[in-house]
Amino acid sequence: MVQIKMFDEEHERDLEDAVNDFLRGLADRDLIDIKYQVGCLLEDEEQIYCFSAMVIFRA
């Protein structure tokens, strides 16, 4: 069965750590793809970033 796992972090390093932790428990043959996205919002003259990734894998 194909499944997804979503990750959403405020810092890119936190996203990297979260995805790498998840991938350690996944066999190489089960990984299908990783989609990555960055969002930016200007709020009260402060830039807010959102780093997200979707891992597509076989369960």
DSSP 38-54: EEEEEETTEEEEEEEEE
CATH code at position 46: 3.30.1660
8 Å CB contact between 57 and 30:
yes
Q: What is the pLDDT of residue 29?
A: 97
Count of domains observed in the chain:
1
pLDDT digits over 1-28, tens only? 999 999 999 999 999 999 999 999 999 9
Question: For all residues of the chain together, what is the average pLDDT?
Answer: 96
Q: 24 lies in which domain range?
A: 2-58
